[in-house]
C-alpha cells in the first residue's frame, strides 16, 4: 500500500448539481465525474446524538467525500501542524478529504445524516487511529510518499 501525504489545501468543497422541482430537489454524484475517484463504498452516519463527535483518524490511501445529507456538522481536518474547519449544512455540496489528513466530525445537529463516499472498500489496515502515530508519519524527513 502506498501512502501519499496531502496538504490541507488539497481538501476542498465540491458543489454538486441541483435539479430543483416543486416535488423536491435532486442531487446526483457520479464516480470519477463529480468526485475525483471511483466510488467503491458508501456509508452513512445517522442517529448521532446532538453535539456528538465521530472520526478521529486518518486514511493512508482512501479518499472520501463527505456530505451533510441532512442537518449539519463540522469537519476538522489536521495535517499534523495546522487545521481547517469546514461547516457542512447543505445536501448539494460536500467536502473532498484526500489521503493522510486527520479528520474529526464534530457538533452534529440532532437528526443529521452524514453521507460518505469512499474510494475503496472498508480496510482497517488503511486507518491510522493513533494521533501520535499519525504525527510521526507526516513528520518523517522523507514524508511525501511512504511505501
In whole angstroms, how close is the CB of 54 to ligand TYD at the nearest point?
A: 4
Stated as kind and residue range, the H or E segment containing 54 is strand 54-59
CB 75 within 8 A of CB 104: yes
Closest by CA position to 70, among listed 43, 87, 88: 88
In whole angstroms, how close is the CB of 93 to ligand TYD at the nearest point?
A: 20
Q: Which residues form the interface with ligand TYD (CB under 6 A)?
A: 41, 43, 45, 54-55, 57, 122
**Closer of 113 and 143 to ligand TYD (Cβ):** 113
Closest by CA position to 119, among listed 62, 66, 44, 57: 62
In whole angstroms, how close is the CB of 21 to ligand TYD at the nearest point?
A: 32
CB 88 within 8 A of CB 67: yes
**Closer of 29 and 143 to ligand TYD (Cβ):** 29
Q: Would you call 57 a catalytic residue per the annotation?
A: yes
**Closer of 9 and 124 to ligand TYD (Cβ):** 124
Q: What angle do CA 113, 115, 117 make, to 5 degrees?
A: 175
Active-site residue, selected from the candidate residues 34, 57, 59, 121 = 57
Where in the sequence numbering do the catalytic residues fall? 57
Amino acid at each position: 500500500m502506498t501512502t501519499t501525504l496531502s496538504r490541507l489545501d488539497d481538501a476542498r468543497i465540491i458543489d454538486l448539481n441541483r435539479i430543483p422541482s416543486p416535488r423536491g430537489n435532486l442531487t446526483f454524484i457520479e464516480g470519477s465525474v463529480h468526485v475525483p475517484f471511483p466510488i467503491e463504498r458508501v456509508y452513512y452516519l445517522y442517529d448521532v446524538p446532538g453535539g456528538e463527535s465521530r472520526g478521529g483518524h486518518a486514511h493512508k490511501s482512501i479518499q472520501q467525500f463527505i456530505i451533510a445529507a441532512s442537518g449539519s456538522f463540522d469537519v476538522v481536518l489536521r495535517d499534523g501542524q495546522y487545521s481547517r474547519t469546514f461547516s457542512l449544512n447543505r445536501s448539494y455540496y460536500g467536502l473532498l478529504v484526500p489521503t493522510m489528513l486527520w479528520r474529526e466530525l464534530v457538533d452534529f445537529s440532532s437528526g443529521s445524516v452524514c453521507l460518505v463516499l469512499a474510494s475503496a472498500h472498508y480496510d482497517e489496515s488503511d486507518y491510522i487511529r493513533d494521533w501520535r502515530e499519525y504525527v510521526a508519519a507526516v513528520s518523517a524527513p522523507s514524508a511525501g510518499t511512504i511505501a
